[in-house]
Structure 1
Amino acid sequence: MQRLGFAPHVSPLSQKGLVTLLTNAGFYIDHEWRATRESVFIIAGKPLI
């Protein structure tokens, strides 16, 4: 589907990789948990200036 232009490029991230990207973008991690092996939930916020 990607070769035909019908699906976007997808890059899988690890939980650690996603948390790193969020914190590097200025977010703080309030809570994170892994519901199943395939899914992670992260509650993040950006501090008000």
Structure 2
Amino acid sequence: MLKEWVEEVYRRRTQISGYDHEQRVNLAGIKEMLKGQEAESDKKKKKKCAVQ
């Protein structure tokens, strides 16, 4: 089971060029960062509303 999974992952990795793979990882990281920033700004808005 594990061996088959490793072979499948390796096959996918070799199909994706290194540059393309890096770009995908970076895009995923940027999306996560943006989600985090949105969450932070929502918290600040809620705090301001609570103060008023």
TM-score, length-scaled by structure 2:
0.30
Which one has more relative contact order, counting CA pairs under 8 Å at least 6 apart? 1
Higher strand share: 1
TM-score, length-scaled by structure 1:
0.31
